Amino acid sequence: MRRLTLRNVVVAALLAALVLLPVYAGLAHDRFVLTLFTRIVILAMAAVSLNLILGFGGMMSFGHAAYLGIGGYAVGILAFEGVPSGLVQWPVALGASALFALVIGALSLRTRGVYFIMITLAFAQMAYYIVAGLARYGGDDGLTIQKRSQFFAPLDLGDKVQFYYLCLVLLFAALYLVWRLVNSRFGLVIQGARSNDMRMRAIGFPTYRYKLVCFVIAGTLCGLAGALLANHADFVSPAMMYWTRSGDLIVMVVLGGMGSVLGPVFGAVALLVLEEVLSGITEYWQIILGPLLLLVVLFARGGIDGLLGKVRHD
Amino acid sequence: MTLFIEQCLNGLQFGLLLFLLAAGLTLVFGIMDLVNLAHGSLYMVGAYLAATFTAWTGSFVLGVVLALAATLVVGMAVEVVVMRRLYGRDHLDHVLGTFGLILFFDELVRLIWGPEGLSLSLPSWLNTSIAILPGVDYSAYKFAVIVVTLAVAAFLYVLVMRTRVGMLIRAGASNREMVGALGVNITLLYTLVFGLGAALAGLAGLMQAPILTVQIGMGENILILAFVITVIGGIGSIRGALVAALLVGFIDTLGRSYLPDFLRVVLSPNAAATAAPALSSMLIYLLMAVVLVVKPEGLFSQGGK
Amino acid sequence: MIERNPAAPLLQIEGLAKRFGGVVATDDVTLGIAAGELHAVIGPNGAGKTTLIAQLAGQLPPDAGRIRFAGEDISALPMHRRSHLGLARSFQITSLFLDLSVLDNVALAVQARAGHSFHFWRNARLEAELRQPARAALARVGLSARENLPASALSHGEHRLLELAMALAGQPRMLLLDEPMAGLGPEESARMVGMLRDLKKELTILLVEHDMEAVFALADRITVLVYGRVIASGAPADIRANAQVRDAYLGEQEAGHA
C-alpha cells in the first residue's frame, strides 16, 4: 500500500467512498443509494468468503449461496419463534452454517473438478428444497422479519446509517481476517493445494483436512453475511439460496479478480452497480449481462484486478 | 396395486426423460470436456418451440418435429458462436460462460414469449388412456413418452457401440490429435455432438411440456437433477446415465407418493405433513451422498476426469 | 561420508508387481538399495521405471509385493507419510507450484516437515524457520538469484533444479529421482551431474535415467528393467559387459547415442 500505483489509488478511493457514503446520502437526501450500498457491502462479504475457497483455494463451489440462506433463516426463524436477540440469533447462524459446511465439505471434497462443481450445486439445491418445504416458515413465499436482531443499546440495527456502518465494519474485519489467513502457514497450504494438489500431498501435506477447514471458515463467514442480509431485507426466502445466486457470487469473484483479498469487493460493487444501471436502461438487462459475462471470461479473465495491473501467474 | 403400477410407470417415464437430458450433458462432457450449464436452456427452448409450432401448424406431430429440428439448429449455432471459444479452457471458464448464456436465454425467452409461460395441449388421439395390463389404465401419452425414450436409448446404444463416432465417444476422446489421426474432421464432429446433445435436451423438454410445464427457469430446475444423475452414474458414461436416471426417477416418484404415508405411520400427522415435502425432495440427494461415500467417481465412471 | 552397508538395505523392494488391464508394468521386482548408495535404474521406454517410482513414493498402490524403508513396511503408507519418513521424490514431468515464487515452492517443502500447518495468523513468508532452510536448499542447487521470481518464469533446466531443491528441502534420507536430466542441454546436464555427485555423499539416491553418460558416471550399482522385469543388476562394469543387457537396451542406446 506504499506505492502510488493505479490499483492503490483506486482502492483508496473506493474505501473512502464506502466510508463516506452515508454522509453523501444524507446531504443528497438519497435513501436509495444507502440501501443499495448496504446490500453491496453485505454481498461483498459473501463474495470475499467465496474467494477464500475459490480464488485462493481453487475449490469451485457452486453452492455458496446456501450459507446466505442458512444464516438468514437462522435469524428469521428465531425471530419468528420469539427470539429476537442477536446474541442468540447470530451465533446460531454461524454455527448452523459451519455445520452445514462441515458435512457438505466432508462429502464434496472427496471429489474434484467437475464433480465438485456439480455436487456442491446439488447439495445447495437440496438445502433450498428443504427450506422451501417448511410451510411453517413461509415455504416458497418466504418469511417476514418483524424486528431486526436486537443487541444492547445504543446499537440499533433499525437505524439505516448505523446498520450500514455495522456491515462496513464487519466487511473490513472479514477482509483483515482473510488477509491474515491467506498469508499464514494455513493459507500457503491452501494456495499450494490449488496450485498443485498432488505435489502438496507428495511433499507431505494431507490436503483434504486443510481444504475442509477452509471450506468451513468460508461457509461460516458467508453465514454471517446471510444474517446481515436477513436484517437488511427484513425478509428471508428460499430464493436467497437458489443456485443462480451462487452463480452471482462466482461472477462477483471472477469479475473482481480472483486470488486477491480485495478483488471480490471490486466485483460486488461492479456487478451490483452495473445491474442497477442496466435495469435503468432496459427491463431485459440480463440479455446484456449474459453476453457481457461471456466476454469477460473470454477476454478479461483477470477481472478488474487484471485491468488495474495486478498480475496472476497461472 | 394399480396405483403402485401406475407410479412405477411414472417413475420409469420420469427416469427415461431425465436420461435424455443427462445423456446429452454427459456426452458433451465426455467428448469435448465441456461443462455446459446452458443445457437446461436448450431443454427450455425445445419446450417453447414445440408449444409455438404446434399452435402455428395446428398439428402436434408437425409441431414437435419442427421444434426438434429447430432446437438442433439452435444448439449447433450456440456451438459455433460460443462453445468453440471455450474448448480447452479451465472448467471455471465454462461454468461462467455458460452461466452467462443461461441469463441470456432466460431473458430472450421472456422478451419473445413474455413472462407467463405457455401451455401445450395434447391432440385427442394422445389424450386418452390405454390398458397396459388388464384392469390397469395408463395415460397414452406417458406411455408414448416411454416408448420414444426407449427408442432413443436404443439408438444411442447403437451409435455408441457400433459406429466410428461411437468408438470415439467410448474412448473418451478429448484427445484431438488422436481423433484427427483417425481421419475425422474434429470441428464438424464437435458441432454434431453438441447438436445431438441439444436435440436430446430439446426432445426431453418438448416431451414433458404437455405433462408438466413450459415456463422460464424450467431448465434450471431440471439441470440440477441432470447433474445429480451424472455424478451418480459417472461423467462420460451413457450407461451410467441410464442406470442413474432410472434410479433417480423411481426413487423420486415413488418417494413422493409413498413417503408421506410412511411418515404418518412413524410420526404424528402434523409432523408428517411438515416433513414429507422436504424429505421427499431430499431423497435423491441422499442417494447422491451415499454414492459419493462409496464410490466418488460415480458408478460407471471411465476414470479420472 | 555414509558408510555403505549392503547387508542392511535402506530401501528393500520385495516381489513388487503392478498391472494395468492387460499390461504388466511391474513384474516381480526385488531390489535392495544400501544406505549411501546411488542406484540407477535404466531401461527402454515403457519398461515401467516411472511406475516403479510411483509405487515407491506411494502414488500408486502395488498389486503385490512389499516395500521396506529403514526396516519399516511402508507398502500401505500414503504419500504424505512416506515423505515424513524421509523418502522424497522428484517428478519426471515437472510438477511445481508454477504460480508461486521459487522461494515459496521450496519453503512449502520445508513447511511440510515442520509439524502441522493449522496456524492462521502469522505471516508464513516472514518465518525464518521456514525461509532459511528454503534459501539454503536453493543455494545448494544454485538458484538463489531467482528466488523471488514466479516459478513459471524459470527455464526448463532451472525447473529441474527447483525440483531437486524441493526434494532436498525436507532433509530426506533418500531421494527418488525420476529423469532429472530430462530435456537438459549439455551444460545443464553437466551441472546436474556435478550436483548429484555432491549429494551422493550425504544421501541415498535411486536414479531413473536415460542419459547413459550420467548413469555410468554416478552409479554405484545399476539395475536394468525391461517390460517391468529386472533382467540384470550389479556394478556398472558388469552391466556394460552383460550380453543380455546390450541386446535389450544398451546396444540401441549406443547406436543412437552421440
Could you report the per-residue pLDDT of B41-80, keeping only the tens digit for each?
A: 999 999 999 999 998 888 888 989 999 999 999 999 999 9
Per-residue pLDDT at C1: 46
Mutate which of B26, B95, B108, B223 to disrupt the A interface (most A C-beta within 10 Å)? B95
Mutate which of A178, A180, A183, A203 to disrupt the C interface (most C C-beta within 10 Å)? A203
Instruction: Give rounded-to-5 percent helix, strand, coil for chain A.
Output: 75, 0, 20
Could you report the per-residue pLDDT of A284-310, keeping only the tens digit for each?
A: 888 888 898 888 888 888 888 888 877
Asked if residue B226 belongs to a domain, the reply is: no
Asked if residue A1 belongs to a domain, the reply is: no
Mean pLDDT on B234-254:
87
Could you report the per-residue pLDDT of B189-220, keeping only the tens digit for each?
A: 888 889 999 999 999 999 988 888 788 888 88
Rounding to the nearest 10 degrees, give the CA dihedral for residues A245, A250, A252, A255: -140
Number of structural domains chain A divides into = 1
C237 or C5: which leads in pLDDT = C237
C108-to-C85, C117, C132, C178, C211 alpha-carbon distances in Å: 17, 10, 12, 21, 30
The model's confidence at residue B297, banded by pLDDT at 50, 70 and 90, is: confident
Which chain A residues are closer than 8 Å to C122 by Cβ? 184-185
CB atoms under 10 Å from CB of C257, counted, come to: 11
In three-state secondary structure terms, A143 is strand
Rounded Cα distance between B278 and A134, Å, is 7
What is the ipTM, given to two decimal places?
0.85
Could you report the per-residue pLDDT of C110-159, keeping only the tens digit for each?
A: 998 888 899 999 999 999 999 999 999 999 888 999 999 999 999 888 89
Instruction: Count Cβ–Cβ pairs < 8 Å, chain A vs chain B.
Output: 125
CB of B236 closer than 8 Å to CB of B174: no
Could you report the per-residue pLDDT of A37-79, keeping only the tens digit for each?
A: 999 999 999 999 999 999 999 999 999 999 999 999 999 999 9
Per-residue pLDDT at B305: 31
Q: Secondary structure of chain C in the HEC alphabet?
A: CCCCCCCCEEEEEEEEEEEECCEEEEEEEEEEEECCCEEEEECCCCCCHHHHHHHHHCCCCCCEEEEEECCEECCCCCHHHHHHHCEEECCCCCCCCCCCEHHHHHHHHHHHCCCCCCCCCCCHHHCHHHHHHHHHHHHHHCCHHHCCCEHHHCCHHHHHHHHHHHHHHCCCCEEEEECCCCCCCHHHHHHHHHHHHHHHCCCEEEEECCCHHHHHHHCCEEEEEECCEEEEEECHHHHHHCHHHHHHHHHHHHHHCC
Strands A235-236 and A143-144: antiparallel
In three-state secondary structure terms, B51 is helix
Asked if residue B58 belongs to a domain, the reply is: yes
Q: Which residues pair with A235 in a beta bridge?
A: A144
Per-residue pLDDT at B304: 35
* Boundaries of every domain in chain C: 1-86+172-258, 94-171
Per-residue pLDDT at C256: 45
Number of C-alpha atoms within 13 angstroms, CB side, residue C46?
A: 5
Round the CA-based radius of gyration of chain A to a whole number and report it: 19
Q: Read off the CATH number of the domain in which A126 is found.
A: 1.10.3470
Domain coverage including residue A165: 6-307
Which chain B residues are closer than 8 Å to A285 by Cβ? 107
Could you report the per-residue pLDDT of A136-184, keeping only the tens digit for each?
A: 888 889 999 988 888 887 888 888 999 999 999 999 999 999 999 999 9
Indicate yes or no: CB of C152 within 8 angstroms of CB of A204: no
Number of structural domains chain B divides into = 1
Per-residue pLDDT at A288: 87
Asked if residue A314 belongs to a domain, the reply is: no
Indicate yes or no: CB of A202 within 8 angstroms of CB of C84: no
Asked if residue B269 belongs to a domain, the reply is: no
Q: How far is C83 from chain A (nearest CA, A)?
A: 6
Cα–Cα nearest to A47, from A22, A28, A65: A65
Asked if residue A313 belongs to a domain, the reply is: no
Asked if residue B180 belongs to a domain, the reply is: yes
Asked if residue B223 belongs to a domain, the reply is: no
Per-residue pLDDT at B301: 67
In three-state secondary structure terms, B231 is helix
**Sign of the four-CA dihedral C163, C164, C169, C171:** positive
Domain at C1-86+172-258: CATH code: 3.40.50.300
Indicate yes or no: CB of A200 within 8 angstroms of CB of C89: no
Please tell me the least confidently modeled range out of A190-194, C209-213, C251-255: C251-255
DSSP B27-38: HHHHHH----TT
Domain coverage including residue B56: 2-120+128-215
Asked if residue B265 belongs to a domain, the reply is: no
Asked if residue B156 belongs to a domain, the reply is: yes
The model's confidence at residue C79, banded by pLDDT at 50, 70 and 90, is: confident
Asked if residue A312 belongs to a domain, the reply is: no
